Amino acid sequence: MNKFWLVTLGIIAGIVALSNIGALFALGISAVIVYVGVHYYLRSLSTGARVFWAAVAIIGALSAISNVPALIGLAAFAGLWIIYRKWNGQNVSFDAIKESDPFTNFEYQWNKLTK
């Protein structure tokens, strides 16, 4: 991709990301509310406490899901990361690392032993 288009997309993604900082902050608060609700739900013993903490977690999840500008901001930050990687000439890959897979290494070692 041309450096011109990388700069253009980077500027656009940067503006979108900066304009959604407040929404990202609200998404972080929603994530904390969900975490607290699930954490205390798992630790509570009474049914009333479980219902209350489940309601807290559900409200936090609904707040996080309905926060569409924050999701757009996250996509803009992901775009900035990809543009940064391409600018520096690094490979942008979303695949998992195959070398650390124990089953792949096992198959390789087994084939080596059975030869």
pLDDT in tens, 82-112: 888 888 877 766 665 556 666 667 777 778 8
Please, what is the Cα angle at 58 between 54 and 62, to 5 degrees?
175
Residue 30 resides in a domain: yes
Report the predicted TM-score, pTM, of the whole model to 2 decimal places: 0.64
Q: 40 or 114, which is more confident?
A: 40
**89 contacts 83 by C-beta, under 8 angstroms:** no
Residue 80 resides in a domain: yes
Largest pairwise CA distance in the chain: 63
102 token code pair: 């124990």
Residue 98 resides in a domain: no
Residue 65 resides in a domain: yes
Residue 24 resides in a domain: yes
Q: pLDDT > 70: what percent of the chain?
A: 88
User: What residues have CB less than 8 Å from 85, skipping those under 6 apart?
Assistant: 91, 92
Residue 106 resides in a domain: no
C-alpha 12/C-alpha 19 separation (Å) is 11
Q: pLDDT of 75-89, one tens digit each? A: 999 888 888 888 887
pLDDT of amino acid 115 = 74
**17 contacts 76 by C-beta, under 8 angstroms:** yes
Q: At what angle do helices 68-87 and 3-19 cross, to 10 degrees?
A: 150
Residue 37 resides in a domain: yes
Query: What residue numbers bound the domain in which 83 lies?
Result: 3-91
The domain tally of the chain equals 1
Residue 50 resides in a domain: yes
Summary mean pLDDT of the chain? 85
pLDDT of amino acid 100 = 64
Q: How far is CA 100 from the centre of its chain?
A: 22
